[in-house]
């Protein structure tokens, strides 16, 4: 067969842009996500938090201090207050607005090609499941996708409780269990309903055999945050299903040659 180009690789992981193309652009802004699409990402990753007035916004940290010119916890600020802040200048010197999850869903919908969306719930244990409820409402509103559909959404969390709640609220929604230190926390079992494990690259370097075990169990394997060339090569060699990266263009180029 053809040993050049795509066929030369045993397996091609999906390329998921972590907070957008956040290596060079302010994370979680429309600019970073548009760049990720231009960079050839197969999907986009985002973290979600709830504002004081109940809107889901794409932000990682508990407070806005690191990524904006404001201060205070996201959960104590209204959407209008967040809209008054600049989330771009800290990174590039150019102002950028906070991004609502609703807007990111619209970007994915209107991208002109199939894109996956990996949504991570933060502070999932607070507000008695309100984050999960709002998320499911929003996804339903935008047409909650079935697994395997082109424009599919999956939800990830470090919290088993969040995944249990999501499974109850939206039984068909694909879920992934995030792990920090080791590929498979809690004795190697995934929470019921989770189709994937999503460990850190550090954990994968230490226990590369876990990819095979997960695949044997019929589960998928996503790895974050894969930015170094040697780590990208490792993920390709191991046959992971998706690499979550701040540098989607680099990964795309390595995959496509
Ligand atoms: O994609 C998973 C990864 O983003 C988890 O860690 O801290 O970047 O949200 P964090
Ligand atoms: Ca995340």
Ligand 1 near 227 CB (within 6 A): no
Separation of 46 CA from ligand 2 center, angstroms?
Answer: 6
Burial of 2 per CB tally in 10 Å (0-12, 13-18, 19+): exposed
Q: Where are the beta strands (DSSP E) in the chain?
A: 14-18, 43-50, 56-58, 116-121, 153-157, 175-179, 194-199, 220-224, 242-245
Asked whether the ipTM of the predicted complex exceeds the cut of 0.85, the reply is yes
Average pLDDT over residues 197-224: 90
For residues 211 and 255, the model is more confident at 255
pLDDT, tens digit (0-9, with 9 covering 90-100), for 99-122: 999 999 999 989 999 899 999 998
What pLDDT was estimated at residue 94?
98
pLDDT band at 1 (very low <50, low <70, confident <90, very high): very low
CB contact at 8 A, 131 and 155 = no
Q: Where are the beta strands (DSSP E) in 1-73?
A: 14-18, 43-50, 56-58
CA–CA separation, 31 and 25 (whole Å): 7
Min mean pLDDT across 7-11, 15-19, 135-139, 145-149 is at: 145-149
pLDDT at site 33: 98
Are 83 and 97 in contact by the 8 Å Cβ rule? The answer is: yes
- Residue 123 catalytic? no
**123 Rama class: left (phi>0) / alpha (psi -120 to 50) / beta:** left
pLDDT at 127 over 70: no
Question: CB 27: neighbour CB atoms within 10 A?
Answer: 27
**Residue-range domain boundaries for the chain:** 12-256
Distance (Å) of CA 36 to CA 24, 39, 201, 244: 10, 5, 21, 12
Mean pLDDT computed over every residue of the chain: 89
- 60 has catalytic annotation: yes
pLDDT at 254: 96
Check whether 212 has a pLDDT greater than 90: no
Q: Given pLDDT bands bounded at 50, 70 and 90, which one contains residue 242?
A: very high
Beta strand segments in 40-172, E: 43-50, 56-58, 116-121, 153-157
Which residue has 């709002």 as its token pair?
134
Note the pLDDT of residue 4.
43
Determine if ligand 1 sits within 6 Å of the CB of residue 231.
no
The region of weakest confidence among 34-48, 50-64, 138-152 is: 138-152
Question: How far apart are the CA of 203 and the centre of ligand 1, in A?
Answer: 14
More confident residue, 190 or 151: 190
Q: In whole angstroms, what is the distance from residue 210 CA to residue 182 CA?
A: 9
Q: Is the pLDDT of residue 11 over 60?
A: yes
Topology (CATH) of 12-256: TIM Barrel (3.20.20)
pLDDT beyond 60 at 2: no
For residue 74, pLDDT over 50 is answered with yes
- Is residue 60 in contact with ligand 1, taking CB distance under 6 Å? yes
Among residues 18, 25, 28, 55, which one is catalytic? Answer: 18
Residue nearest atom 7 of ligand 1, based on CA coordinates: 60
* Strand 220-224 with 242-245, pairing: parallel
Q: Are 51 and 82 in contact, with CB atoms under 8 Å apart?
A: yes
Mean pLDDT is highest, among 6-10, 61-65, 136-140, for 61-65
Selecting among 25, 28, 55, 60, the annotated active-site residue is 60
Q: Band of the pLDDT at 251, cuts 50, 70, 90?
A: very high
Q: Averaging pLDDT over each range in 3-12, 87-96, 148-157, which range is the top one?
A: 87-96
The upper half-sphere exposure of residue 145, i.e. CA atoms within 13 Å in the direction of its Cβ, equals 19
């Amino acid at each position: 067969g053809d040993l050049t180009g795509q066929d030369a690789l045993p397996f091609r992981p999906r390329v998921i842009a972590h907070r957008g193309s956040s290596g060079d652009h302010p994370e979680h802004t429309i600019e970073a996500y548009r760049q990720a699409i231009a960079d050839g990402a197969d999907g986009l990753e985002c973290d979600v938090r709830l504002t004081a007035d109940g809107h889901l916004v794409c932000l990682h940290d508990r407070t806005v201090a690191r990524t904006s010119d404001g201060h205070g916890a996201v959960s104590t600020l209204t959407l209008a207050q967040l809209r008054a802040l600049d989330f771009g200048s800290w990174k590039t010197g150019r102002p950028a607005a906070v991004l609502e999850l609703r807007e990111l869903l619209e970007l994915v919908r209107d991208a002109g090609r199939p894109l996956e969306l990996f949504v991570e719930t933060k502070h999932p244990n607070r507000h008695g499941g309100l984050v999960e409820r709002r998320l499911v409402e929003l996804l339903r509103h935008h047409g909650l996708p079935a697994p395997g559909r082109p424009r599919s959404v999956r939800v990830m969390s470090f919290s088993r409780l969040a995944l249990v709640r999501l499974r109850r609220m939206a039984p068909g929604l694909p879920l992934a269990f995030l792990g920090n230190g080791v590929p498979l926390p809690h004795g190697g079992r995934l929470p019921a309903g989770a189709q994937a494990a999503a460990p850190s690259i550090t954990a994968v370097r230490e226990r590369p055999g876990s990819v095979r075990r997960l695949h044997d169990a019929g589960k998928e394997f996503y790895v974050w945050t894969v930015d170094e060339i040697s780590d990208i090569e490792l993920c390709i060699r191991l046959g992971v299903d998706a690499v979550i990266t701040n540098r989607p263009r680099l990964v795309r180029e390595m995959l496509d040659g």
